[in-house]
Amino acid sequence: MKKVRVAVVGASGYSGEELVRLLLAHPGVELVAVTSRQYAGRTVGEVFPRFAHWPAARELAFREPDAAALAREAEVVFLALPHGVAAEYVRPLLEAGRVVIDLSADFRLRDPAVYEAFYGHQHPAPELLSQAVYGLPELYREAIRQARLIASPGCYPTSILLPLVPLLREGLVEPDGIVVNSLSGVSGAGRKAELDYLFCECAESLRAYGVPKHRHLSEIEQELSVAAGRQVLIRFTPHLVPVRRGILTTIVVRPTLPVTTAGEVFQLTGRIEACYRAAYGREPFVRLLDDRQLPDTKNVVGTNVCEMAWRLDVRTGQLVIVSAEDNLLKGASGQAVQSLNLVCGFPETTGLL
Annotated active-site residue 306? The verdict is no
Task: Say which range, 94-98, 192-196, 257-261, has the weakest mean pLDDT.
Answer: 192-196
Q: What is the pLDDT of residues 159-171, one digit of tens each?
A: 999 999 999 999 9
Cβ proximity of 14 and 185 under 8 Å: no
Mean pLDDT of all residues in 59-79? 96
Name the more confident of 324 and 14: 324
Strand arrangement of the beta sheet that strand 132-134 belongs to? 62-63, 29-35, 4-9, 76-79, 99-102, 149-151, 132-134
Q: Choose, from 155, 202, 306, 344, the residue flagged as catalytic.
A: 155
Find all residues with CB under 8 Å of 37, minimum gap 6, and list them. Answer: 64, 65
pLDDT band at 1 (very low <50, low <70, confident <90, very high): low
Q: Which pLDDT value is given to residue 227?
A: 98
Is pLDDT at 200 greater than 90 in this prediction? no
Residue 41 makes CB contacts below 8 A (sequence gap 6+) with 61, 62, 63
Query: What is the domain class of 156-325 according to CATH?
Result: alpha beta
Q: Give the pTM.
A: 0.95
Share of the chain above pLDDT 90, in %: 89
Out of 95-104, 189-198, 201-210, least confident range: 189-198
pLDDT class of 188 with cuts at 50, 70, 90: confident
How is the chain split into domains, by residue range?
4-152+332-344, 156-325
Complete DSSP assignment for 54-94 = SHHHHH-BEE---HHHHHHH-SEEEE---TTTTHHHHHHHH
**Does the pLDDT value for residue 59 go beyond 80?**
yes
- What's the CATH superfamily of 4-152+332-344? NAD(P)-binding Rossmann-like Domain (3.40.50.720)
Query: What mean pLDDT do residues 137-149 have?
Result: 98
Q: Identical fold at 4-152+332-344 and 156-325?
A: no
